[in-house]
Amino acid sequence: MNKEKIWLSSPHIGTDEMSYIEDAFASNWISTLGSNVDGFEDDLENYLSESDASRSSVCVLNSGTSAIHLALILLGVNSEDEVICQSFTFAASANPILYLGAIPVFVDSEPITFGICPTQLEKAILDRIAKGKKPKAIIAVHTYGMLFEVEKIIEISKKYNIPLLEDAASALGSSFKGKKCGTFGDIGVVSFNGNKIITTSGGGALISKSAKIKKKAIFLASQARDKAPHYQHSNIGYNYRMSNISASIGRGQMKILESHIAKRRITNQFYKSIFKDIKGVAVFKEPNTNYYSNFWLTIICIDKSHKITKEQLRLNLLNENIESRSLWKPLHLQPIFSTYPYYGSTIAEDLFETGLCLPSGSNMTEAQKNKIKKTINKTFT
């Protein structure tokens, strides 16, 4: 039987991307300089600043991971420094800490937004300070498009004067009290990887509060070339800048971002209606009306006592060629990170044990949704 694959989240191209790419080709601006790089940065700055008097400065890069790496450098992280990082996240949130030879200190999540737990965060900060080393930065992550408790985390970051790096890789378009994700941290990061809410085929952006930081980010991302007629370098440089072709795709994608979000939010409602009558399964939801999630992925948690496990549901879906994926395995349990300090209990661990991400792409058809619904209902009857 030939079953068409239903993806967790696949690229969804609009109508304008190609004309931006053609412009780039026509003008021969197909490398890391060009009007679409500047244009995409403008588009993002306008979008992020819509509801905010203070304008954000955006530097577009070749991935979200490189944006996190540069953000840590710009925040002054050096080798042997400690950096606090939410444990319940994708490895790319923490790998750049290791690139720098710095030390990750992992913190558990709270059970409402699944973002970094304020209580454990403060505990970790106090304990690290008592042990003689004040953490250099805090990496907090919006999980699957849902905001972490931004007000509490910003308050802690200010109280201890430790800068906040906001990993909004999957949260472009999400907001809290109308303020957009990516603008809460001292530096914010978004990703345009193929599976994210919009894509540039691969890419990311570093969001800061000043044109000066943006300029520094562009400098470091373009091999740190000093002003001279020859190649002259006084800093370690990186080749992290976004190409004008990727930025062309991004410009087209910005035009359909809001409609992509609307579709993912409808998909979230679709899953809520399926699980309304299934006992012991919770669909991840916004805690209150201050939170607006792009619902990049809809996730469910199945009670531990339930006779169906997340793995059984995953396999049943897979059998129909429907992709789903376990929630993140916490980083403090990953072999590469398991020797580093961890503050918390078992919230992140329980999420891993019970949670599944369901197909949420903005390009899913009604027929595909019906097939998903049938498979879920069959599993739970």
Ligand X SMILES: *Cc1c(COP(=O)(O)O)cnc(C)c1O
Residue ranges that bind ligand X, judged by CB under 6 A: 63-65, 89-90, 92-93, 141, 167, 169-170, 191, 193, 204
Between 189 and 256, whose beta carbon lies closer to ligand X?
189
Token output for 377: 């209902």
Number of Cβ atoms within 10 Å of the Cβ of 307: 9
Q: Which is nearer to ligand X, 60 or 281 (CB)?
A: 60
CB 56 within 8 A of CB 209: yes
Q: Starting at the edge strand that comes first in sequence, how are the strands of the sheet with 179-180 ordered?
A: 179-180, 175-176, 291-292
Cα R_g (the chain), whole angstroms: 21
With respect to ligand X, which residue has the nearer C-beta, 70 or 274?
A: 70
Nearer to ligand X, 96 or 380 (CB): 96
Closest separation between CB of residue 103 and ligand X, Å?
A: 19
Distance in Å, CB of 193 to ligand X, minimum: 4
DSSP 8-state secondary structure symbol assigned to residue 184: S
Which lies closer to ligand X via its Cβ, residue 57 or residue 65?
Answer: 65
- CB within 8 Å of 249: residues ≥ 6 apart: 13, 17, 20, 21, 199, 200, 201
The distance of closest approach from Cβ of residue 370 to ligand X in the complex, given in angstroms and rounded to an integer, is 28
**Cα(105)–Cα(77) distance, integer angstroms:** 14
DSSP characters for 333-355? GSTTTTTS-EE--SHHHHHHHHE
Least Å distance, CB 167 to ligand X, is 5
- Both tokens assigned to 111: 């059970």
What tokens were used for 71? 């953000």
CB nearer to ligand X: pick between 89 and 293: 89
Assigned token pair, 194:
């193929």
- At 122 the three-state DSSP class reads helix
| Secondary structure (3-state) at 248 | helix
By the 8 A CB rule, do 224 and 237 touch? yes
- Distance from C-alpha of 194 to C-alpha of 291, rounded to nearest angstrom: 25
Q: Nearer to ligand X by C-beta: 24 or 139? A: 139
Exposed, middle or buried, 338 (CB in 10 Å: 0-12/13-18/19+)? exposed
Name the minimum Å distance from CB 15 to ligand X.
24
Min CB(7)–ligand X separation in Å: 15
Q: How far is the CB of 323 from ligand X (least distance, A)?
A: 16
Shortest distance, CB of residue 205 to ligand X, whole angstroms? 9
| Rounded-to-integer distance, Cα 147 and Cα 83, Å | 21
| Nearer to ligand X among residue 238 and residue 275 (C-beta) | 238
Closest contact distance (angstroms) between CB of 218 and ligand X is 18
Q: 63 or 244: whose CB is closer to ligand X?
A: 63
298-302 and 281-283 strand pairing: antiparallel
Amino acid type, 1: M
Q: Which residue is nearest to ligand X (CB)?
A: 64
